[in-house]
Structure 1
Protein backbone atom coordinates (compact mmCIF):
# COMPACT_ATOMS: atom_id res chain seq x y z
CA UNK A 1 0.00 0.00 0.00
CA UNK A 2 1.40 3.47 -0.86
CA UNK A 3 2.66 5.39 2.18
CA UNK A 4 0.10 8.19 1.65
CA UNK A 5 -2.78 6.06 0.41
CA UNK A 6 -6.10 7.86 0.90
CA UNK A 7 -4.51 11.09 2.19
CA UNK A 8 -5.54 14.54 0.98
CA UNK A 9 -2.70 17.05 0.62
CA UNK A 10 -2.66 20.78 -0.05
CA UNK A 11 0.55 22.40 -1.29
CA UNK A 12 0.80 26.18 -1.49
CA UNK A 13 3.22 27.41 -4.13
CA UNK A 14 2.84 23.95 -5.62
CA UNK A 15 3.03 24.94 -9.26
CA UNK A 16 6.78 25.38 -9.54
CA UNK A 17 10.10 24.51 -7.95
CA UNK A 18 10.10 22.62 -4.67
CA UNK A 19 6.31 22.79 -4.32
CA UNK A 20 5.87 21.10 -7.69
CA UNK A 21 8.32 18.32 -6.72
CA UNK A 22 6.44 17.75 -3.46
CA UNK A 23 3.05 17.69 -5.19
CA UNK A 24 4.29 15.08 -7.67
CA UNK A 25 5.82 12.97 -4.89
CA UNK A 26 2.61 13.08 -2.86
CA UNK A 27 0.60 11.86 -5.85
CA UNK A 28 3.14 9.15 -6.63
CA UNK A 29 2.79 7.84 -3.07
CA UNK A 30 -1.00 7.65 -3.08
CA UNK A 31 -2.28 11.07 -2.02
CA UNK A 32 -4.71 13.28 -3.88
CA UNK A 33 -3.26 16.76 -4.17
CA UNK A 34 -4.64 20.29 -4.23
CA UNK A 35 -2.11 22.73 -5.70
CA UNK A 36 -2.46 26.41 -4.95
CA UNK A 37 -0.32 28.84 -6.95
CA UNK A 38 -1.08 32.28 -8.38
CA UNK A 39 1.85 32.28 -10.82
CA UNK A 40 1.22 32.48 -14.56
CA UNK A 41 3.94 32.58 -17.19
CA UNK A 42 4.31 35.17 -19.92
CA UNK A 43 1.80 33.25 -22.04
CA UNK A 44 -0.77 33.21 -19.27
CA UNK A 45 -0.31 29.52 -18.47
CA UNK A 46 -1.09 28.84 -14.80
CA UNK A 47 1.59 26.90 -12.94
CA UNK A 48 -0.99 25.22 -10.68
CA UNK A 49 -3.00 24.01 -13.66
CA UNK A 50 0.07 22.72 -15.47
CA UNK A 51 1.23 20.72 -12.45
CA UNK A 52 -2.25 19.35 -11.79
CA UNK A 53 -2.48 18.24 -15.42
CA UNK A 54 0.88 16.49 -15.16
CA UNK A 55 -0.25 14.59 -12.07
CA UNK A 56 -3.53 13.52 -13.66
CA UNK A 57 -1.76 12.48 -16.86
CA UNK A 58 0.36 10.17 -14.70
CA UNK A 59 -2.77 8.59 -13.20
CA UNK A 60 -3.12 10.67 -10.05
CA UNK A 61 -5.82 13.03 -8.81
CA UNK A 62 -5.17 16.75 -8.48
CA UNK A 63 -6.97 20.04 -8.08
CA UNK A 64 -5.57 23.37 -9.31
CA UNK A 65 -6.30 26.43 -7.18
CA UNK A 66 -5.32 30.05 -7.72
CA UNK A 67 -5.99 31.70 -4.36
CA UNK A 68 -3.90 34.40 -2.71
CA UNK A 69 -2.68 33.03 0.65
CA UNK A 70 -1.83 36.51 1.93
CA UNK A 71 -5.54 37.22 2.44
CA UNK A 72 -7.91 35.51 4.81
CA UNK A 73 -10.51 35.12 2.07
CA UNK A 74 -7.97 33.53 -0.27
CA UNK A 75 -6.59 31.10 2.30
CA UNK A 76 -10.10 30.14 3.43
CA UNK A 77 -11.28 29.59 -0.14
CA UNK A 78 -8.22 27.43 -0.86
CA UNK A 79 -8.88 25.14 2.09
CA UNK A 80 -12.63 25.00 1.57
CA UNK A 81 -12.22 24.10 -2.11
CA UNK A 82 -9.87 21.27 -1.15
CA UNK A 83 -12.27 19.87 1.44
CA UNK A 84 -15.27 20.28 -0.86
CA UNK A 85 -13.53 18.38 -3.65
CA UNK A 86 -11.84 15.62 -1.65
CA UNK A 87 -13.85 15.46 1.59
CA UNK A 88 -11.07 16.19 4.10
CA UNK A 89 -7.60 17.67 4.57
CA UNK A 90 -4.76 15.59 5.99
CA UNK A 91 -1.58 17.36 4.88
CA UNK A 92 -0.63 21.00 4.46
CA UNK A 93 2.70 22.06 2.98
CA UNK A 94 3.33 25.80 2.83
CA UNK A 95 5.78 26.39 -0.01
CA UNK A 96 4.50 29.71 -1.35
CA UNK A 97 7.26 32.30 -1.23
CA UNK A 98 9.13 35.08 -2.98
CA UNK A 99 12.43 36.89 -2.61
CA UNK A 100 13.68 40.44 -3.02
CA UNK A 101 17.39 41.08 -2.79
CA UNK A 102 18.83 44.22 -1.28
CA UNK A 103 20.29 45.90 1.76
CA UNK A 104 17.94 46.94 4.55
CA UNK A 105 18.30 50.66 3.94
CA UNK A 106 17.58 50.10 0.24
CA UNK A 107 14.38 48.06 0.71
CA UNK A 108 11.13 49.86 0.22
CA UNK A 109 8.22 49.38 2.59
CA UNK A 110 6.37 47.63 -0.22
CA UNK A 111 9.23 45.15 -0.74
CA UNK A 112 9.40 44.43 2.99
CA UNK A 113 5.64 43.95 3.21
CA UNK A 114 5.59 41.70 0.14
CA UNK A 115 8.12 39.29 1.65
CA UNK A 116 6.64 39.27 5.14
CA UNK A 117 3.11 38.90 3.80
CA UNK A 118 3.72 35.99 1.46
CA UNK A 119 6.07 34.03 3.70
CA UNK A 120 4.94 34.74 7.25
CA UNK A 121 1.35 35.93 6.86
CA UNK A 122 0.81 33.29 4.17
CA UNK A 123 1.99 30.56 6.55
CA UNK A 124 -0.19 31.92 9.35
CA UNK A 125 -3.36 32.13 7.27
CA UNK A 126 -2.86 28.77 5.57
CA UNK A 127 -2.42 27.04 8.94
CA UNK A 128 -5.26 29.00 10.53
CA UNK A 129 -7.74 27.93 7.87
CA UNK A 130 -6.55 24.32 7.72
CA UNK A 131 -6.49 23.66 11.46
CA UNK A 132 -10.26 23.54 12.17
CA UNK A 133 -10.58 20.65 9.70
CA UNK A 134 -7.57 18.82 11.15
CA UNK A 135 -8.72 19.40 14.73
CA UNK A 136 -12.16 18.03 13.91
CA UNK A 137 -10.61 14.77 12.70
CA UNK A 138 -7.82 14.92 15.34
CA UNK A 139 -5.17 14.21 12.74
CA UNK A 140 -3.02 16.14 10.34
CA UNK A 141 0.47 16.93 9.14
CA UNK A 142 1.73 20.47 8.66
CA UNK A 143 5.10 20.98 7.01
CA UNK A 144 6.21 24.60 6.88
CA UNK A 145 9.12 25.81 4.77
CA UNK A 146 11.80 27.83 6.49
CA UNK A 147 15.38 28.47 5.46
CA UNK A 148 18.90 28.43 6.81
CA UNK A 149 18.74 32.03 5.63
CA UNK A 150 16.83 32.82 8.81
CA UNK A 151 20.19 33.01 10.59
CA UNK A 152 23.56 33.99 9.25
CA UNK A 153 26.92 33.28 10.81
CA UNK A 154 29.09 36.31 11.46
CA UNK A 155 32.63 36.62 12.79
CA UNK A 156 33.07 36.69 16.56
CA UNK A 157 34.03 40.37 16.48
CA UNK A 158 34.65 43.25 14.12
CA UNK A 159 38.38 42.68 14.62
CA UNK A 160 38.22 39.37 12.77
CA UNK A 161 38.29 39.43 9.00
CA UNK A 162 36.23 36.72 7.35
CA UNK A 163 34.17 36.43 4.22
CA UNK A 164 30.50 36.57 5.17
CA UNK A 165 27.82 34.87 3.10
CA UNK A 166 25.40 37.59 2.13
CA UNK A 167 21.66 37.09 2.77
CA UNK A 168 19.19 37.79 -0.04
CA UNK A 169 17.68 40.46 2.20
CA UNK A 170 16.93 41.13 5.85
CA UNK A 171 13.22 40.91 5.03
CA UNK A 172 13.62 37.36 3.72
CA UNK A 173 15.63 36.34 6.80
CA UNK A 174 13.12 37.96 9.14
CA UNK A 175 10.21 36.16 7.48
CA UNK A 176 11.97 32.78 7.60
CA UNK A 177 12.99 33.27 11.23
CA UNK A 178 9.36 34.03 12.00
CA UNK A 179 8.30 30.80 10.31
CA UNK A 180 10.74 28.82 12.46
CA UNK A 181 9.33 30.37 15.61
CA UNK A 182 5.75 29.89 14.49
CA UNK A 183 6.35 26.26 13.57
CA UNK A 184 7.95 25.15 16.82
CA UNK A 185 5.42 27.04 18.92
CA UNK A 186 2.49 25.66 16.93
CA UNK A 187 3.88 22.15 17.44
CA UNK A 188 3.74 22.70 21.21
CA UNK A 189 0.27 24.21 20.94
CA UNK A 190 -0.93 21.08 19.13
CA UNK A 191 1.15 18.61 21.13
CA UNK A 192 -1.81 16.80 22.69
CA UNK A 193 -3.65 16.44 19.39
CA UNK A 194 -3.03 14.13 16.46
CA UNK A 195 -1.57 17.01 14.43
CA UNK A 196 2.17 17.39 13.90
CA UNK A 197 4.11 20.45 12.74
CA UNK A 198 7.64 20.32 11.35
CA UNK A 199 9.70 22.94 9.55
CA UNK A 200 11.69 22.07 6.45
CA UNK A 201 14.95 23.85 5.61
CA UNK A 202 15.52 22.96 1.96
CA UNK A 203 18.49 23.65 -0.27
CA UNK A 204 17.71 23.32 -3.96
CA UNK A 205 17.90 25.07 -7.29
CA UNK A 206 14.53 26.71 -7.99
CA UNK A 207 13.15 29.73 -9.78
CA UNK A 208 13.73 31.82 -6.64
CA UNK A 209 17.25 30.54 -6.13
CA UNK A 210 18.65 29.53 -9.54
CA UNK A 211 22.25 29.46 -8.33
CA UNK A 212 23.87 26.06 -8.71
CA UNK A 213 27.07 26.67 -6.75
CA UNK A 214 28.03 25.28 -3.33
CA UNK A 215 25.91 26.50 -0.42
CA UNK A 216 28.00 25.80 2.66
CA UNK A 217 26.10 27.23 5.62
CA UNK A 218 26.24 26.28 9.29
CA UNK A 219 29.07 23.81 8.80
CA UNK A 220 27.00 21.66 6.42
CA UNK A 221 29.15 20.45 3.48
CA UNK A 222 28.02 21.42 0.01
CA UNK A 223 25.25 19.10 -1.15
CA UNK A 224 25.96 16.58 -3.88
CA UNK A 225 22.69 17.59 -5.56
CA UNK A 226 20.44 20.65 -5.60
CA UNK A 227 17.59 18.90 -7.40
CA UNK A 228 14.30 19.71 -5.58
CA UNK A 229 13.08 16.18 -6.40
CA UNK A 230 15.67 14.89 -3.89
CA UNK A 231 13.97 16.78 -1.06
CA UNK A 232 10.44 15.55 -1.74
CA UNK A 233 10.88 12.09 -0.11
CA UNK A 234 11.67 13.74 3.23
CA UNK A 235 8.42 15.69 3.01
CA UNK A 236 6.49 12.55 2.04
CA UNK A 237 7.81 10.79 5.14
CA UNK A 238 7.01 13.72 7.47
CA UNK A 239 3.49 13.80 6.00
CA UNK A 240 2.93 10.08 6.48
CA UNK A 241 1.24 8.20 9.34
CA UNK A 242 4.67 6.78 10.22
CA UNK A 243 5.76 10.25 11.41
CA UNK A 244 2.96 10.57 13.98
CA UNK A 245 5.44 10.98 16.86
CA UNK A 246 7.69 13.52 15.13
CA UNK A 247 6.71 17.13 15.74
CA UNK A 248 8.39 20.45 16.39
CA UNK A 249 11.48 19.48 14.44
CA UNK A 250 13.60 21.67 12.18
CA UNK A 251 14.70 19.47 9.29
CA UNK A 252 17.38 20.24 6.72
CA UNK A 253 17.16 18.35 3.44
CA UNK A 254 19.25 18.67 0.28
CA UNK A 255 20.31 15.95 -2.12
CA UNK A 256 21.01 12.93 0.06
CA UNK A 257 21.73 15.07 3.14
CA UNK A 258 19.35 15.05 6.09
CA UNK A 259 19.68 16.85 9.44
CA UNK A 260 17.24 16.91 12.34
CA UNK A 261 18.38 19.93 14.34
CA UNK A 262 18.24 20.04 18.12
CA UNK A 263 16.75 22.81 20.22
CA UNK A 264 18.23 26.07 18.94
CA UNK A 265 18.18 27.62 22.43
CA UNK A 266 19.58 24.61 24.28
CA UNK A 267 22.55 25.75 26.36
CA UNK A 268 24.35 22.55 25.50
CA UNK A 269 26.71 23.39 22.68
CA UNK A 270 26.92 27.01 23.82
CA UNK A 271 29.16 28.70 26.38
CA UNK A 272 27.64 29.69 29.71
CA UNK A 273 29.23 31.31 32.74
CA UNK A 274 27.35 31.91 35.99
CA UNK A 275 28.29 34.36 38.71
CA UNK A 276 26.60 34.59 42.09
CA UNK A 277 25.78 38.24 41.95
CA UNK A 278 25.79 41.03 39.42
CA UNK A 279 28.40 41.37 36.71
CA UNK A 280 30.30 44.60 36.34
CA UNK A 281 31.09 46.02 32.90
CA UNK A 282 34.79 45.65 33.73
CA UNK A 283 34.38 41.94 34.45
CA UNK A 284 32.46 41.46 31.22
CA UNK A 285 35.19 43.31 29.41
CA UNK A 286 37.54 40.50 30.46
CA UNK A 287 35.19 37.56 30.02
CA UNK A 288 33.04 38.14 26.92
CA UNK A 289 35.79 38.06 24.25
CA UNK A 290 36.78 34.53 25.26
CA UNK A 291 33.14 33.42 25.39
CA UNK A 292 32.43 34.48 21.81
CA UNK A 293 35.86 33.51 20.50
CA UNK A 294 36.91 37.06 19.66
CA UNK A 295 40.62 37.37 19.11
CA UNK A 296 41.11 33.62 18.69
CA UNK A 297 41.35 33.69 14.91
Structure 2
Protein backbone atom coordinates (compact mmCIF):
# COMPACT_ATOMS: atom_id res chain seq x y z
CA UNK A 1 0.00 0.00 0.00
CA UNK A 2 1.56 3.28 -1.11
CA UNK A 3 1.00 5.76 1.69
CA UNK A 4 2.21 9.36 1.37
CA UNK A 5 1.07 10.46 4.82
CA UNK A 6 3.66 12.83 6.36
CA UNK A 7 5.07 13.63 2.91
CA UNK A 8 4.78 17.06 1.31
CA UNK A 9 4.39 17.37 -2.44
CA UNK A 10 4.70 20.38 -4.70
CA UNK A 11 2.97 20.25 -8.10
CA UNK A 12 3.50 22.96 -10.71
CA UNK A 13 0.89 23.71 -13.34
CA UNK A 14 -1.63 22.04 -11.03
CA UNK A 15 -4.64 24.24 -11.68
CA UNK A 16 -6.07 21.99 -14.39
CA UNK A 17 -5.40 18.97 -16.58
CA UNK A 18 -2.51 16.70 -15.66
CA UNK A 19 -1.29 18.80 -12.75
CA UNK A 20 -4.74 18.87 -11.14
CA UNK A 21 -5.05 15.09 -11.53
CA UNK A 22 -1.62 14.57 -9.95
CA UNK A 23 -2.38 16.90 -7.04
CA UNK A 24 -5.67 15.13 -6.28
CA UNK A 25 -4.06 11.69 -6.54
CA UNK A 26 -1.18 12.62 -4.24
CA UNK A 27 -3.57 14.13 -1.69
CA UNK A 28 -5.72 11.02 -1.94
CA UNK A 29 -2.73 9.00 -0.72
CA UNK A 30 -2.21 11.32 2.25
CA UNK A 31 0.35 13.85 1.01
CA UNK A 32 0.06 17.52 1.85
CA UNK A 33 0.07 19.31 -1.49
CA UNK A 34 1.24 22.72 -2.65
CA UNK A 35 -0.80 23.55 -5.75
CA UNK A 36 1.12 25.96 -7.98
CA UNK A 37 -0.50 27.61 -10.99
CA UNK A 38 -0.64 31.17 -12.32
CA UNK A 39 -3.92 30.55 -14.13
CA UNK A 40 -7.32 32.05 -13.54
CA UNK A 41 -10.79 30.99 -14.61
CA UNK A 42 -12.99 33.10 -16.89
CA UNK A 43 -14.52 34.78 -13.84
CA UNK A 44 -11.08 35.64 -12.46
CA UNK A 45 -10.84 32.97 -9.77
CA UNK A 46 -7.53 31.21 -9.12
CA UNK A 47 -7.39 27.77 -10.72
CA UNK A 48 -4.92 26.68 -8.03
CA UNK A 49 -7.30 27.70 -5.25
CA UNK A 50 -10.11 25.69 -6.86
CA UNK A 51 -7.96 22.54 -6.72
CA UNK A 52 -7.06 23.28 -3.10
CA UNK A 53 -10.77 23.49 -2.31
CA UNK A 54 -11.31 20.05 -3.88
CA UNK A 55 -8.52 18.56 -1.79
CA UNK A 56 -9.75 20.14 1.44
CA UNK A 57 -13.36 19.11 0.83
CA UNK A 58 -12.10 15.53 0.58
CA UNK A 59 -10.33 15.88 3.92
CA UNK A 60 -6.84 16.54 2.61
CA UNK A 61 -4.25 19.22 3.28
CA UNK A 62 -3.26 21.75 0.62
CA UNK A 63 -2.32 25.34 -0.07
CA UNK A 64 -2.31 27.30 -3.31
CA UNK A 65 0.53 29.33 -4.80
CA UNK A 66 0.72 31.57 -7.86
CA UNK A 67 4.49 32.12 -7.99
CA UNK A 68 6.12 32.43 -11.41
CA UNK A 69 8.41 29.39 -11.49
CA UNK A 70 10.28 30.60 -14.56
CA UNK A 71 12.17 33.02 -12.29
CA UNK A 72 14.60 32.19 -9.50
CA UNK A 73 12.73 34.44 -7.06
CA UNK A 74 9.38 32.86 -7.92
CA UNK A 75 10.67 29.31 -7.49
CA UNK A 76 12.37 30.20 -4.22
CA UNK A 77 9.16 31.74 -2.92
CA UNK A 78 7.21 28.63 -3.90
CA UNK A 79 9.57 26.27 -2.09
CA UNK A 80 9.69 28.58 0.93
CA UNK A 81 5.88 28.64 1.09
CA UNK A 82 5.76 24.84 1.13
CA UNK A 83 8.25 24.60 3.99
CA UNK A 84 6.65 27.45 5.94
CA UNK A 85 3.23 25.80 5.78
CA UNK A 86 4.12 22.13 6.18
CA UNK A 87 7.64 22.12 7.66
CA UNK A 88 9.32 20.11 4.91
CA UNK A 89 9.26 19.24 1.21
CA UNK A 90 9.71 15.73 -0.16
CA UNK A 91 8.18 15.51 -3.64
CA UNK A 92 8.48 17.73 -6.71
CA UNK A 93 6.16 17.15 -9.65
CA UNK A 94 7.35 19.51 -12.38
CA UNK A 95 4.38 19.66 -14.71
CA UNK A 96 3.88 23.31 -15.73
CA UNK A 97 4.03 24.05 -19.43
CA UNK A 98 2.82 26.16 -22.33
CA UNK A 99 2.85 25.81 -26.11
CA UNK A 100 3.68 28.35 -28.81
CA UNK A 101 3.39 26.14 -31.88
CA UNK A 102 4.53 27.19 -35.33
CA UNK A 103 6.87 25.83 -37.99
CA UNK A 104 10.54 26.46 -37.34
CA UNK A 105 10.87 28.88 -40.25
CA UNK A 106 8.13 31.06 -38.75
CA UNK A 107 9.11 30.73 -35.09
CA UNK A 108 9.96 33.99 -33.34
CA UNK A 109 12.55 34.49 -30.63
CA UNK A 110 9.74 35.26 -28.17
CA UNK A 111 8.01 31.97 -28.97
CA UNK A 112 11.26 30.06 -28.46
CA UNK A 113 12.15 31.86 -25.23
CA UNK A 114 8.67 31.59 -23.69
CA UNK A 115 8.46 27.81 -24.05
CA UNK A 116 12.03 27.15 -22.91
CA UNK A 117 11.54 29.50 -19.97
CA UNK A 118 8.54 27.63 -18.58
CA UNK A 119 9.30 24.00 -19.41
CA UNK A 120 13.07 23.85 -18.96
CA UNK A 121 13.71 27.01 -16.97
CA UNK A 122 10.77 26.50 -14.63
CA UNK A 123 11.71 22.89 -13.93
CA UNK A 124 15.32 23.87 -13.30
CA UNK A 125 14.39 26.76 -11.01
CA UNK A 126 12.05 24.72 -8.82
CA UNK A 127 14.44 21.79 -8.47
CA UNK A 128 17.32 24.18 -7.83
CA UNK A 129 15.38 25.94 -5.07
CA UNK A 130 14.54 22.64 -3.36
CA UNK A 131 17.68 20.61 -4.04
CA UNK A 132 19.76 21.59 -1.00
CA UNK A 133 16.88 20.78 1.32
CA UNK A 134 16.32 17.38 -0.28
CA UNK A 135 20.02 16.57 0.07
CA UNK A 136 20.10 17.71 3.69
CA UNK A 137 17.18 15.49 4.69
CA UNK A 138 18.55 12.55 2.70
CA UNK A 139 15.37 11.97 0.75
CA UNK A 140 13.52 13.27 -2.28
CA UNK A 141 11.39 12.26 -5.23
CA UNK A 142 11.40 14.38 -8.39
CA UNK A 143 9.27 13.84 -11.49
CA UNK A 144 9.88 15.89 -14.62
CA UNK A 145 7.46 15.96 -17.53
CA UNK A 146 8.74 15.15 -20.99
CA UNK A 147 6.62 14.19 -24.02
CA UNK A 148 6.52 12.19 -27.21
CA UNK A 149 7.41 15.45 -28.98
CA UNK A 150 10.63 15.56 -27.00
CA UNK A 151 11.38 11.90 -27.55
CA UNK A 152 10.53 11.71 -31.25
CA UNK A 153 9.86 15.23 -32.55
CA UNK A 154 6.68 16.88 -33.81
CA UNK A 155 6.09 19.30 -36.67
CA UNK A 156 5.66 22.86 -35.46
CA UNK A 157 7.09 22.20 -32.00
CA UNK A 158 10.83 22.84 -32.25
CA UNK A 159 10.74 24.93 -29.07
CA UNK A 160 8.57 22.46 -27.14
CA UNK A 161 10.53 19.42 -28.36
CA UNK A 162 13.87 20.99 -27.48
CA UNK A 163 12.71 21.83 -23.96
CA UNK A 164 11.22 18.38 -23.37
CA UNK A 165 14.36 16.59 -24.56
CA UNK A 166 16.58 18.86 -22.46
CA UNK A 167 14.65 17.79 -19.37
CA UNK A 168 15.85 14.22 -19.92
CA UNK A 169 19.47 15.37 -19.80
CA UNK A 170 18.70 17.22 -16.56
CA UNK A 171 17.00 14.11 -15.16
CA UNK A 172 19.94 11.84 -16.02
CA UNK A 173 22.50 14.07 -14.32
CA UNK A 174 20.39 14.75 -11.23
CA UNK A 175 19.75 11.02 -10.88
CA UNK A 176 23.49 10.53 -10.58
CA UNK A 177 24.07 13.48 -8.26
CA UNK A 178 21.09 12.66 -6.04
CA UNK A 179 21.73 8.93 -5.65
CA UNK A 180 23.75 9.05 -2.43
CA UNK A 181 21.03 11.15 -0.75
CA UNK A 182 18.15 8.87 -1.84
CA UNK A 183 16.85 11.47 -4.29
CA UNK A 184 15.26 9.68 -7.21
CA UNK A 185 14.57 11.61 -10.40
CA UNK A 186 12.34 10.22 -13.14
CA UNK A 187 10.33 11.40 -16.13
CA UNK A 188 6.75 10.95 -17.21
CA UNK A 189 5.79 11.21 -20.87
CA UNK A 190 2.00 11.64 -20.95
CA UNK A 191 -0.48 11.65 -23.79
CA UNK A 192 -3.59 13.12 -22.19
CA UNK A 193 -6.43 15.57 -22.49
CA UNK A 194 -5.18 18.98 -21.37
CA UNK A 195 -5.94 22.61 -22.11
CA UNK A 196 -3.22 22.40 -24.78
CA UNK A 197 -4.73 19.36 -26.54
CA UNK A 198 -8.46 19.36 -25.80
CA UNK A 199 -9.46 21.36 -28.89
CA UNK A 200 -7.81 18.75 -31.13
CA UNK A 201 -9.68 15.79 -29.65
CA UNK A 202 -13.07 14.18 -30.15
CA UNK A 203 -15.22 13.50 -27.06
CA UNK A 204 -14.24 9.84 -27.24
CA UNK A 205 -10.54 10.70 -27.32
CA UNK A 206 -10.91 13.09 -24.39
CA UNK A 207 -12.49 10.33 -22.32
CA UNK A 208 -9.94 7.70 -23.35
CA UNK A 209 -7.05 10.07 -22.56
CA UNK A 210 -8.33 11.38 -19.23
CA UNK A 211 -5.30 12.82 -17.37
CA UNK A 212 -6.20 10.69 -14.35
CA UNK A 213 -4.72 7.69 -16.17
CA UNK A 214 -1.25 9.24 -15.83
CA UNK A 215 -1.40 9.96 -12.09
CA UNK A 216 -1.01 6.37 -10.77
CA UNK A 217 2.48 6.26 -12.31
CA UNK A 218 3.25 9.69 -10.85
CA UNK A 219 2.10 8.59 -7.38
CA UNK A 220 4.42 5.58 -7.57
CA UNK A 221 7.37 7.71 -8.71
CA UNK A 222 6.65 10.07 -5.81
CA UNK A 223 6.64 7.31 -3.21
CA UNK A 224 9.25 5.87 -0.90
CA UNK A 225 8.59 2.52 -2.61
CA UNK A 226 9.96 3.86 -5.90
CA UNK A 227 13.25 2.15 -6.72
CA UNK A 228 13.57 3.69 -10.17
CA UNK A 229 15.75 6.61 -11.10
CA UNK A 230 16.40 8.07 -14.55
CA UNK A 231 13.39 6.15 -15.93
CA UNK A 232 11.06 7.44 -18.64
CA UNK A 233 7.49 6.19 -18.36
CA UNK A 234 5.18 6.81 -21.31
CA UNK A 235 1.46 6.80 -20.54
CA UNK A 236 -1.32 6.95 -23.10
CA UNK A 237 -4.69 6.28 -21.55
CA UNK A 238 -4.62 2.82 -19.99
CA UNK A 239 -1.38 1.89 -21.79
CA UNK A 240 1.91 2.21 -19.90
CA UNK A 241 5.38 1.72 -21.37
CA UNK A 242 9.00 2.43 -20.53
CA UNK A 243 11.27 4.28 -22.96
CA UNK A 244 15.03 3.91 -23.04
CA UNK A 245 17.95 5.04 -25.18
CA UNK A 246 19.89 2.14 -26.72
CA UNK A 247 23.32 1.89 -28.29
CA UNK A 248 24.21 -0.56 -31.05
CA UNK A 249 27.22 -2.86 -30.90
CA UNK A 250 30.28 -0.76 -31.77
CA UNK A 251 32.09 -1.13 -35.06
CA UNK A 252 35.85 -0.97 -34.54
CA UNK A 253 38.05 -0.02 -37.49
CA UNK A 254 41.39 -0.22 -35.66
CA UNK A 255 42.43 3.05 -37.31
CA UNK A 256 40.88 6.22 -38.70
CA UNK A 257 38.39 5.09 -41.35
CA UNK A 258 37.78 6.89 -44.58
CA UNK A 259 34.30 8.38 -45.12
CA UNK A 260 33.68 5.57 -47.63
CA UNK A 261 34.66 2.90 -45.10
CA UNK A 262 32.39 4.52 -42.53
CA UNK A 263 29.52 4.48 -45.04
CA UNK A 264 30.08 0.79 -45.72
CA UNK A 265 29.73 0.06 -41.98
CA UNK A 266 26.29 1.65 -41.62
CA UNK A 267 24.31 -1.56 -42.08
CA UNK A 268 26.19 -3.11 -39.15
CA UNK A 269 26.23 0.11 -37.16
CA UNK A 270 22.48 0.53 -37.40
CA UNK A 271 21.73 -3.08 -36.46
CA UNK A 272 20.32 -3.00 -32.93
CA UNK A 273 20.06 -6.78 -32.53
CA UNK A 274 22.79 -6.86 -29.88
CA UNK A 275 22.19 -3.36 -28.54
CA UNK A 276 22.47 -2.45 -24.86
CA UNK A 277 20.93 0.38 -22.87
CA UNK A 278 22.78 3.57 -23.65
CA UNK A 279 23.46 4.40 -20.00
CA UNK A 280 25.05 0.97 -19.52
CA UNK A 281 27.20 1.38 -22.62
CA UNK A 282 28.34 4.82 -21.49
CA UNK A 283 29.13 3.63 -17.95
CA UNK A 284 31.29 0.83 -19.35
CA UNK A 285 33.21 3.30 -21.52
CA UNK A 286 33.98 5.81 -18.77
CA UNK A 287 35.04 3.37 -16.05
Confirm or deny a common fold (TM above 0.5): yes
Structure 2 match to 1:130: 130
Q: What displacement does 1:136 show?
A: 1.8
Could you tell me whether the CA contact under 8 Å between 2:251 and 2:268 is conserved in 1? Answer: no
Q: Aligned pair 1:230/2:213, yes or no? A: yes
1:1-297 paired onto structure 2 within 5 Å:
3-152=3-152, 166-210=154-198, 211-212=200-201, 225-243=208-226, 245-262=227-244, 264=245, 266-267=246-247, 270=248, 272-288=250-266, 291=269
Could you tell me whether the CA contact under 8 Å between 1:14 and 1:48 is conserved in 2? Answer: yes
| Distance in 2 separating the partners of 1:224 and 1:16 | 15
| Distance in 1 separating the partners of 2:168 and 2:206 | 22
Q: What displacement does 1:39 show?
A: 0.8
Could you tell me whether the CA contact under 8 Å between 1:205 and 1:226 is conserved in 2? Answer: yes
Q: Greater helix share, 1 or 2?
A: 2
Could you tell me whether the CA contact under 8 Å between 1:143 and 1:199 is conserved in 2? Answer: yes
Could you tell me whether the CA contact under 8 Å between 2:100 and 2:111 is conserved in 1? Answer: yes
**Unpaired runs of at least 5, structure 1:** 154-165, 214-221
| Distance in 2 separating the partners of 1:199 and 1:75 | 20
TM-score (norm 2): 0.87
TM-score (norm 1): 0.85
Could you tell me whether the CA contact under 8 Å between 2:35 and 2:63 is conserved in 1? Answer: yes
| Deviations 1:43-94, CA, capped at 9 Å, x for gaps | 2111101111111111111100000001111000000001100110011100
- What root-mean-square deviation, in Å, do the aligned CA atoms of Structure 1 and Structure 2 show? 2.1
Q: What displacement does 1:186 show?
A: 0.6
Q: What displacement does 1:151 show?
A: 3.1
Q: Secondary structure at the match of 1:45?
A: coil
Q: How many residue pairs get matched?
A: 268
